């Protein structure tokens, strides 16, 4: 404003002026305004680098600071990616030459392109690369793709097989993630009861025992002493991390679930030791913290033996975190290894337990399906559109996790019923159901409630009496803190669910809303780390504080914690001493459990599990496997001799014929082709193995190899030529020819081979002497002065080939049974050197010329004229025409 012709400014917080004799005086806020303006003017005159608080910067200073910071960030980014002026100029030169197209792709676009390439092939990725979407090309995604050839253990448990698979899946080609914990998951998958031929190792796969003789295997199967495995035991390792948590299989072997728990102990010990010794294992990714499995009783015994060996005592890294947790079982395995039960299997087993006629007894009330049927009908506002009460209590699919969770949550809802009209009998049932509902609520919340923090999950888990799963979840917190306290602990990744979900490829593809929301009970079966939004870092959880809060809450409905002050008494052993989980009795919550042999049972009073197994001598195991590999490392063929006549048959056909008892070779000529003997579609198990896999010069004839062949000239002379193979074609019966890069020598040498070899003629061997390569001087000599005046070196390549001297090389040239007819353009030179030998009047002359002697007249006739020639003899004989050339009379029968 302007007062008396003088500009005046008023503060936004003006309190109003004061009227005095001297006039209107400004308020305190307006009086300070001049000082504030002078301070701002002084700050604006200085550089932004001398002002610490960004709130004191002017708009011009902020713009200048952002420009400087942005330049620094770009400089650091360029330095990290290795860019420089020289590199930029090199890429500009390549772009100008059309050899480089600058594009910037995100990781999501690269992943999408790889998925499309695997599903649609090169044509699909080419079309999308040239479309408006401009996805990465095949050359761009090639460095991100890996060919993973896993090795199954068909001849028993082998340390080297597991070590190789770990190196393949976790080796140097995999970018190192943040170090974290890992879980070993062990489970079985269904398989056809058939015998496979593993052509890479020349072994029979499918027996639950190691058998190397076909005759012995057939006899053992027919006698019943050995049977064909009906399942494949798969052991996988998964990251306990928010990304890349999928299970990666490191062991695959046939099984029938009739082995002993000692075999399971040996398997897990070998996997853990292989992970420790592998460069791509513990040293790179982090330790194995737990072993997870389903409710298989043999594996349950093995896990207790492995993970209940030692007490957590002073000196153990976990002791400071668990020393004040009364009731927690403090026994662990070597390197603090713990066993884990899969939450989803536990949910299904609880459903099977309360849905049975025997049920479970709580407060002298038997809770079974008949009791639950009446109580679930009383629940108001329940959504029974997806499944009825009858289907929940009489499940047709015992593996449906969503229905199991819905039944447990319905039992939890019973506590909300109005009890005003209940009689004493109903009140007793209601109290028992409420107690069961409290336990179910505490069991489910950590795995289905995405709003819980890690501390709230630990408090909830204390209610549950599923002690293997519970103890592992609690100890996972201090274990993770020892690795990296900033890592998040995801309870949804515990158990062997990552292994089970690995087979569900639709889980990755069908990312529809039904997989991403929580509006219905079925969606809780698909929770993953991305759904949990609250605090889950290991450092954020105070175990002692969570434990104390949980005990106070649990005392109202569970046993008081003073019980656990007795020796050998904790949540895993509530009655003291005994481990109920490893008793010899059959768990009624399991739908199908075979009776265990007497020698496989463990005394429930056992406390020292370390004495039950002697451990595995890994070093001796490696030496034994290396000795076996060196003794059986000779090249093998896909064919085998089947009788004294040295007839050859394909090994897969032999196995399919001998082990398929339903084969009837007389029923149809193509019976064996229509019988599925090994896998779906009749292909080998290694569907992604390329043609050049496991090819060597000893077993395969390849493009570029040298060979000798016979060349015929005018059907009168025959010469020997040395040629270089340029084409290999295979013509299956009734199919078009297929070009190949290599062919097995055992198949190429067969008289009935369908392979054709073509090549470039290198030299004609002089008749009457050994093979000798004579390099003729036909190169053009150019002096230095004749070279172009300008030139540049773009790339230098060095190629070397090393081989041993072989004095018997002339015996190793392949000899083929078929000869292609052609023109032989070579003639003798002035010195009279013969490059071809005359075959006139020799036994092979007619075969080379494709002609035969007529048995009627003795005349030599070519193959294409033989039908017409013999037909003329028949006509002459029929009409009694005299033919002087006939030596053997032709008889005509009417």
Integer Cα distance of 79 and 492 in angstroms: 39
Cα 881 off chain centre by: 81
Q: What is the pTM of this model?
A: 0.51
342-365: b (≥16 Cβ within 10 Å) or e: bbbbbbbbbbbbbbeeebbebeeb
Write out pLDDT tens, residues 838-867: 777 777 777 777 788 888 888 888 888 888
Give, in degrees to the nearest 5, the angle at Cα 574 between 568 and 575.
80
Helix (H), strand (E) at residue 123: helix 107-129
- Who contacts 75 (Cβ-Cβ below 8 Å, separation ≥6)? none
Helix (H), strand (E) at residue 79: helix 59-80
pLDDT at 673: 41
Integer Cα distance of 38 and 36 in angstroms: 5
The predicted model gives 259-275 an average pLDDT of 85
Integer Cα distance of 745 and 172 in angstroms: 35
Nearest CA-CA partner of 372 in 396, 420, 419, 406: 406
Write out pLDDT tens, residues 398-441: 777 778 888 888 888 888 888 888 888 788 888 888 888 887 88
Contact 368, 358 (CB under 8 A): yes
DSSP 8-state symbol, 207: B
Helices vs. strands in the chain: H and E counts, helices first: 28, 26
Q: What is the 3-state secondary structure (H, E, C) of 459-527?
A: HHHCCCCCHHHHHHHHHHHHHHHHHHCCCECCHHHCCCHHHHHCCCCHHHHCCCHHHCCCCCHHHHHHC
Residue 9 has phi, psi (to 5 degrees) of -120, 145
How confident is residue 514, by pLDDT bands cut at 50, 70 and 90? very low
Q: Pick the residue with more confidence: 611 or 539? A: 539
Instruction: State yes or no: pLDDT of 74 exceeds 50.
Output: yes
Contact 652, 204 (CB under 8 A): no
Integer Cα distance of 246 and 528 in angstroms: 11
Cα 170 off chain centre by: 11
Q: Pick the residue with more confidence: 216 or 79? A: 79
Strand partners, 562: none
As a whole number of Å, the end-to-end CA separation of the chain is 138
pLDDT at 13: 74
Integer Cα distance of 766 and 784 in angstroms: 38
Q: What is the 3-state secondary structure (H, E, C) of 639-701?
A: EEECCCCCCEEEHHHHHHHHHCCCCCCCCCCCHHHHCCCCCHHHCCCCCCCCCCCCCCCCCEE
Write out pLDDT tens, residues 268-293: 888 888 888 888 888 888 888 888 87
Write out pLDDT tens, residues 142-188: 877 766 777 887 777 888 888 888 888 887 666 656 788 888 888 87
Helix (H), strand (E) at residue 845: helix 845-849
Integer Cα distance of 694 and 603 in angstroms: 50
SS3 448: helix
Integer Cα distance of 253 and 251 in angstroms: 7
Q: How many CB atoms lie within 10 A of CB 386?
A: 12
Write out pLDDT tens, residues 95-142: 888 777 776 788 788 889 888 888 888 888 888 888 878 888 888 888
């Amino acid at each position: 404003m302007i007062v008396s012709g003088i500009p005046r400014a008023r503060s936004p917080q003006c309190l109003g002026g004061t009227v005095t004799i001297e006039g209107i005086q400004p308020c305190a806020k307006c009086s300070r305004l001049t000082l504030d303006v002078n301070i701002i003017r002084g700050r604006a005159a200085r550089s932004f680098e001398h002002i610490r608080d960004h709130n004191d910067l002017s708009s011009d200073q902020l713009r200048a600071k952002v420009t400087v910071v942005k330049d620094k960030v770009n400089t650091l980014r360029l330095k990290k990616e290795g860019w420089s002026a020289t590199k930029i100029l090199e890429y500009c030169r390549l772009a100008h030459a059309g050899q480089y197209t600058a594009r910037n792709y995100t990781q999501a676009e690269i992943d999408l392109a790889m998925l499309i390439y695997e599903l649609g092939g090169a044509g699909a990725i080419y079309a999308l690369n040239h479309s408006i979407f401009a996805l990465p090309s095949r050359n761009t995604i090639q460095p991100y793709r890996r060919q993973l050839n896993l090795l199954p253990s068909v001849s028993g448990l082998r340390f080297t097989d597991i070590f190789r698979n770990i190196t393949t899946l976790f080796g140097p080609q995999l970018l190192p993630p943040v170090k974290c914990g890992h879980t070993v998951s062990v489970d079985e998958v269904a398989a056809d009861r058939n015998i496979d031929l593993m052509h890479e190792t020349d072994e029979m796969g499918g027996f639950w025992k190691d058998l190397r003789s076909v005759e012995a295997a057939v006899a053992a199967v027919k006698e019943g002493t050995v049977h064909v495995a009906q399942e494949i035991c798969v052991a996988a390792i998964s990251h306990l991390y928010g990304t890349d948590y999928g299970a990666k299989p490191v062991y695959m072997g046939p099984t029938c679930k009739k082995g002993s728990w000692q075999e399971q102990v040996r398997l897990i010990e070998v996997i853990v030791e292989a992970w420790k010794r592998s460069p791509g294992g513990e040293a790179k990714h982090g330790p194995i913290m737990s072993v997870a499995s389903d409710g298989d009783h043999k594996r349950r015994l093995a896990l207790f033996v492995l993970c209940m060996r030692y007490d957590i005592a002073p000196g153990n890294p976990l002791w400071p975190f668990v020393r004040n947790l009364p009731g927690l079982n403090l026994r662990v395995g070597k390197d603090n290894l713990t066993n884990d039960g899969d939450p989803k299997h536990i949910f299904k087993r609880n459903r099977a337990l309360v849905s049975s006629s025997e049920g479970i007894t709580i407060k002298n009330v038997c809770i079974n399906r008949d009791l639950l049927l009446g109580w679930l009908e009383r629940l108001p506002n329940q959504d029974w559109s997806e499944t009825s009460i009858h289907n929940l209590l009489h499940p047709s699919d015992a593996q449906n996790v969503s229905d199991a969770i819905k039944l447990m949550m319905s039992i939890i809802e019973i506590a909300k019923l109005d009890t005003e009209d209940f009689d004493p009998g109903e009140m007793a049932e209601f109290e028992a159901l409420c107690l069961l509902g409290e336990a179910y609520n505490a069991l489910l919340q950590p795995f289905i409630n995405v709003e819980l923090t890690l501390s709230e999950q630990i408090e909830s888990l204390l209610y549950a009496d599923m002690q293997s799963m519970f103890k592992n979840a609690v100890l996972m917190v201090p274990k993770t803190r020892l690795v990296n306290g900033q890592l998040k602990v995801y309870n949804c990744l515990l158990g062997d669910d990552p292994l089970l979900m690995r087979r569900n490829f639709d889980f990755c593809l069908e990312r529809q809303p039904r997989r991403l929301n929580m509006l219905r009970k079925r969606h809780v079966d698909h929770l993953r780390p991305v759904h949990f939004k609250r605090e889950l870092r290991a450092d954020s959880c105070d175990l002692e504080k969570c434990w104390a809060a949980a005990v106070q809450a649990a005392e109202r409905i569970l046993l008081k914690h003073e019980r656990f002050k007795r020796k050998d008494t904790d949540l895993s052993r509530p009655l003291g001493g005994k481990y109920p989980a490893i008793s010899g009795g059959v768990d009624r919550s399991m739908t199908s459990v075979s009776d265990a042999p007497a020698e496989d049972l463990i005394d429930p009073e056992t406390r020292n599990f370390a004495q039950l197994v002697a451990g595995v001598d890994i070093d001796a195991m490696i030496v034994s496997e290396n000795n076996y590999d060196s003794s059986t490392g000779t090249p093998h063929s896909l064919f085998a001799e089947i009788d004294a006549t040295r007839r050859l048959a394909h090994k897969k056909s032999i196995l399919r014929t001998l082990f398929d008892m339903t084969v009837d070779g007389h029923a149809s000529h193509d019976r064996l082709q229509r019988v599925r003997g090994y896998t779906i579609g009749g292909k080998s198990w290694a569907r992604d193995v390329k043609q050049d896999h496991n090819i060597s010069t000893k077993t395969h004839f390849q493009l570029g190899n040298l060979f000798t062949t016979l060349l015929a000239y005018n059907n009168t002379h025959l010469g020997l030529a040395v040629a270089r193979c340029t084409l290999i074609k295979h013509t299956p019966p009734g199919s078009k020819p297929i070009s190949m890069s290599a062919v097995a020598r055992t198949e190429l040498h067969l008289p009935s081979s369908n392979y054709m070899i073509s090549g470039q003629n290198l030299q004609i061997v002089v008749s009457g002497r050994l093979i000798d390569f004579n390099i003729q001087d036909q190169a053009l000599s150019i002096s230095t002065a004749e070279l172009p005046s300008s030139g540049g070196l773009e790339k230098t390549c060095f190629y070397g080939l090393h081989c041993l001297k072989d004095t018997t090389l002339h015996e190793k040239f392949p000899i083929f049974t078929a000869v292609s007819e052609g023109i032989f353009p070579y003639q003798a030179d002035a010195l009279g050197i013969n490059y071809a030998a005359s075959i006139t009047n020799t036994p092979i002359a007619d075969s080379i010329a494709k002609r035969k002697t007529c048995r009627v007249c003795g005349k030599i006739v070519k193959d294409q004229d033989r039908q017409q020639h013999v037909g003329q003899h028949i006509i002459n004989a029929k009409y009694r025409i005299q033919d002087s050339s006939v030596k053997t009379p032709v008889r005509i029968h009417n």
